């Protein structure tokens, strides 16, 4: 069974949810429910990334591997790890009791989140190149 379409679908959902979540945090903070939407969409994004990664892993394994042999896989894998860190930082903002620590966590979360989105864009471009679409 060809898992590639499922890999692409899961990663597209992950990317689209993250873009919308970040746009909400940037432009819709006046809306009372922005944080709930940002959190929910980003959790959907990270879950989809994990599913997409698992599908890619099985796909590569079934062809005999090795894993992470192409730039696409390396960048994609790093983007997933960064997403987990950004998610952690997001929750840590609300655990922190110290004003200065909270401000640093927010800054780290904002910039790591933007870097994460950029990495996903590179992973997608490399993936499209790999599949011969670009
Ligand atoms: C956010 C988007 C994406 C991420 C994070 C991602 C991540 C990954 C990762 C981590 C692997 C390697 C798994 C391993 O080596 O065990 C992989 C493999 C692969 N991905 Fe993606 N992917 C994304 C989107 C895409 C897209 C859009 C395409 C094609 C249109 C694509 C095509 C492929 C192919 C063909 C492989 C197999 C590579 C091989 O045989 O080594 N991916 N992906
Ligand atoms: C992988 C998941 C996540 C990503 C990629 C992400 C990304 C981002 C980005 C890029 C921003 C800055 C938007 C801007 O103003 O330009 C932001 C803001 C924010 N995010 Fe997230 N986020 C994620 C998950 C979460 C979670 C789970 C929470 C809460 C539990 C959270 C809470 C916040 C808060 C409170 C802000 C505003 C920070 C401030 O006031 O500077 N995020 N997020």
Please tell me the predicted confidence (pLDDT) of residue 38: 98
Window from 62-66, 82-86, 93-97 with minimum mean pLDDT: 62-66
- C-beta 123 within 6 A of ligand 1: yes
- C-beta 60 within 6 A of ligand 1: yes
Task: Supply the CATH number for residue 16's domain.
Answer: 1.20.120
Range of the domain at 79: 4-130
Task: Report which bound ligand comes closest to the CA of 36.
Answer: 2
Task: For 2-50, write each residue's pLDDT tens digit.
Answer: 999 999 999 999 999 999 999 999 999 999 999 999 999 999 999 999 9
pTM: 0.95
Could you give the number of structural domains in the chain?
Answer: 1
- C-beta 12 within 6 A of ligand 1: no
CB 75 within 8 A of CB 123: yes
Please tell me the predicted confidence (pLDDT) of residue 27: 98
pLDDT tops 90 at residue 134:
no
Please tell me the predicted confidence (pLDDT) of residue 99: 96
Residues having CB closer than 6 A to ligand 2 are 18, 22, 25-26, 35, 38-39, 42, 46, 83, 86-87, 90-91, 93-94, 106, 109-110, 113-114, 116
Please tell me the predicted confidence (pLDDT) of residue 111: 98
Would you place residue 59 in the very low, low, confident or very high pLDDT band (cuts 50, 70, 90)? Answer: very high
HSE at residue 99, side-chain half, CA atoms within 13 A, is 0
């Amino acid at each position: 069974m060809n898992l590639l379409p499922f890999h692409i679908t899961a990663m597209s959902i992950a990317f689209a949810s993250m873009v919308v979540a970040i746009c909400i945090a940037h432009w819709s903070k006046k809306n009372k429910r922005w944080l709930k939407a940002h959190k929910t969409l980003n959790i959907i994004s990270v879950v989809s990334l994990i599913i997409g990664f698992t599908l890619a892993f099985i796909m590569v394994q079934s062809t005999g591997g090795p894993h992470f042999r192409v730039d696409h896989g390396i960048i994609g894998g790093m983007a997933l790890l960064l997403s987990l860190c950004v998610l952690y930082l997001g929750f840590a903002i609300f655990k922190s009791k110290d004003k200065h620590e909270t401000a640093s966590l927010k800054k780290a979360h904002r910039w790591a989140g933007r870097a994460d989105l950029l990495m996903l864009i590179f992973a997608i471009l490399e993936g499209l190149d790999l599949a011969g679409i670009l």
